[in-house]
A and B are shown apart, each in its own frame.
Chain A
Amino acid sequence: MKNNLIKGIRMTVVLVVLFTVIYPLSVWAVAQLAPNNGKGEIVSYKQTKGYANIGQSFTKDEYFWGRPSAVDYNAAGSGASNKGASNEEYLAVVQGRIDTFLLKNPSVKKSEIPVDLVTASGSGLDPNISVASAKIQIVRIQKARNIDPEKLNTLIDANTEQPLLEMFGPAKINVLKLNIALDQLK
């Protein structure tokens, strides 16, 4: 026991140095070559900046909306609803989101609302929506901004990120990048 204890303590010290000093510093050094020196990828707009991978809350009619968030896009405290599929209270919340969406987008038929627009994401920070979810908001934005719907269609197509190598995973749209492009239109 005593023999093992001394060996164990010495080996722990050696490995603490390896795994909490040498390893992270090497990864950190490599990350200096990564986007924004490993401090999180940035997109800039006007005089300010946002994080490309962190969703932002969009509630105004003239912006594309992202997904509902259980933590209101608090990027210092990610979280989800964790509601079960059968939870009545939760289902009422989803119904409420559908009603609100229809109220704000009167031209949209209920059967066209994609499910990602009325369900909260896992992180509460989902930066993306599906392509259908962007297209369905065109009429509202066109009215709020008074621009040509064709331009909005082109904008969405230009901002659509295809599956990895066009083979793996879903297509998607980064809401923040799309809205920045929207602001730069005209």
Chain B
Amino acid sequence: MNTEILGIIAMFLLTLALAIPLGKYISKVYGMEKTWLDFIFNPLEKLFFKLSGVNPAEEMNWKQHMKALLTINLIWFVLGMIILMTMGSLPLNPDGNPSMSADLAFNTAISFVVNCNLQHYSGETGISYLGQFYLMFLQFVSAATGMAAAVVVFRAFRDKTTTELGNFYTYFMKSCTRILLPLSFVVAALLAFQGTPMTFEGKDSITTLQGDVQEVSRGPAAGFVAIKHIGTNGGGFFGTNGAHPLENPTYFTNMLEMWAQMIIPFAMIFAFGYFIKRKKFSWMIFGVMTIGFLALAIPNVIGEMQGNPMIEKMGIDTSLGAMEGKETRIGAAATGYWSIATTVISTGSVNSMHDSTMPLSGMNELLAMMINSFYGGVGVGILNFFVFIILAVFISGLMVGRTPEFLGKKVEAREMKIAMIIALMHPFLILVGTALTAAMPEYGTATLNNPGFHGLSEMLYEFTSASANNGSGFEGLGDNTVWWNVSTGIVLILARFLPIIGPVAIAGLLAQKKYIPESDGTLRTDTGTFGVVTLTVIVIIAALAFFPVLALGPIAEYFTIY
């Protein structure tokens, strides 16, 4: 079989094979059970809690969780603004890169706090190593924030009736120390041996074989690239992200980074099942997500391998596929696969330029972010999916004429209102943002890199990426302007915290309710039938909300070249 296709299959299977044991481990970590790493982490965490003045055993209700979460995120944002706006004159800046302007620092600090990593600067010229280190810190803690929020939901369905949902700081700290740190360290070490630099030295200047002078940016990239994927952050150390041959030097690193970004989103699904002791429920979720993922990924792999018909018409050999914006060592197949993995999961790292992918591939990348819950980002993916489950439970309940129930809890008007607001906010932010920008040509059209339908897609992609907290882009867009920095910055905040607060609130409210034991009349949520209903709800919401704008962008572009 074609080695490029085999590479993709291996990536998927390796992720799945390791996600199940990791899910079990994660469930134990949050369940405060014994694990084999206790001998290091028990004393370490004890010290960290002591230094932080936190009592890890103190129970919180859902509101206390959210207050703690929002407060610490605010601290990170303020500190980020300070560092990014002064780093030019701080240490660890061998290349002499400047500080950021206020609007760019706002966008960047927000973007990394919310686990999005939309980057309106370029790594080589726009940030110092100190700045990179702080962003790397944010990559760890923003991922841990998402995981801690997901665990609140896990807890809400484990106990029969309760308001006590564990301690935010404990979940957060354990996510950092016991999950993100060890995985990142292993990945970083492997990357370093494959050729990703980990040095404090600045640019090197060399003479090329042909006699020209070439400057080569380096830096402490291996540590950064590891957590960027493990935490589904996606922000590149260098400007071209995972396409850069120092961030992603070989086909092996490409497989490793692909594995790294999918492993925790996969594992969290299984962790949920282990944690609430309903393994079948995990497989239902995993099945729906995988069908959605494959329905988007397979066309992209095929489309990118087939190549650009406009170039084929010129009469050359296009058997390698659509190579504009792609790297030879990775190839069209693995690039097409990555383009969907990184967009269904909210990583947003790229190993090719999405702006140059085929029109329908671009559409699938957009759809992946518009749906934003096939696997989804670390922690938050399962929260997004949870909203769709609640909607599916409600619709199924109406169809059979019973009060909707989910895992023994009645879903009533209050929970439904929250779920609807969260589900509709995402299209609202994307469509209103794009429409506003399109209505102001001096802020919108003037920043485009491509004319016509594709130009609209560039604007649409930027807002979709911001609202999905994804961080990839149609990078031709000249997005370092006050308008883009501020508008996407605001979208980022809303699209991060409301979809965390919403599901946690629903779970908190359900947890307080009386537990109704399962009977013959109970709607079973761990069956294939329920999976189909959930998938249908997702598809209907996405299609109704986004089909018109997709028709104006990528679909229209498709018909101009085929």
Contacts and interface: CB of A to CB of B under 8 A. Distances in A.
Contact of B133 (A20, A132, A168): A20
B6 A172 contact: no
B307 interface: yes
A27 B449 CA distance: 38
A12 interface: yes
Interface string A94-138: 110010000000000011111110111111111111101000000
A10 B53 contact: yes
Contact of B244 (A30, A56, A123): A123
A83 interface: yes
Interface in B448-479: 449-454, 457, 474-476
B329 A75 contact: no
B405 interface: no
Interface stretch (B134-142, B374-382, B420-428): B134-142
B443 interface: no
B67 A1 contact: yes
Nearest to A46: B209
Contacts, number: 378
B197 interface: yes
Interface string B317-347: 1111111111111110010000000000000
The residue in A14, A84, A87 that gathers the most chain B C-beta atoms within 10 A of its C-beta is A84
Contacts of A55: 245
Interface stretch (B25-33, B188-196, B280-288, B491-499): B188-196
B222 interface: yes
Interface string B231-268: 00000001110011110011110110000000000000
A18 B185 CA distance: 12
Interface in A77-98: 77-88, 90-91, 94-95, 98
Interface residues of B, number: 120
Contacts of A76: 95, 124-125, 203, 215-217
B6 A122 contact: no
B251 A85 contact: no
B155 interface: no
Contact of A84 (B197, B204, B307, B355): B355
B51 A123 contact: no
Interface in A59-87: 59-60, 63, 67, 73-87
A125 B173 CA distance: 39
Given A52-B195, A170-B3, A122 B325 contact: yes
A53 B246 contact: yes
Interface stretch (A34-42, A140-148, A149-157): A34-42
Contacts of A120: 324-325
Interface magnitude class on chain A: 35 or more
Nearest to B313: A91
A75 B457 CA distance: 29
Contacts of A39: 197, 199, 201, 204, 218
A24 B220 contact: yes
B185 A26 contact: yes
Nearest to A47: B207
A124 B310 CA distance: 22
Contacts of A8: 68, 71-72, 74-75
B68 A169 contact: no
B212 to A, nearest CB: 6
A7 B54 contact: yes
Contact of B324 (A27, A83, A123): A83
Contacts of A171: 3
Given A24-B136, A119-B326, 11 more contacts: A11-B72, A30-B192, A31-B189, A38-B198, A40-B199, A73-B214, A82-B353, A86-B452, A115-B321, A121-B326, A163-B3
A121 B3 CA distance: 21
A164 interface: yes
Contacts of A160: none
B232 to A, nearest CB: 16
B206 interface: yes
B200 interface: yes
Given A8-B68, A31-B222, A85-B356, A94 B450 contact: no
A129 B326 CA distance: 11
B57 interface: no
A125 B327 CA distance: 9
A158 interface: no
A54 B246 contact: yes
B67 A4 contact: yes
Given A59-B210, A74-B215, A172 B71 contact: no
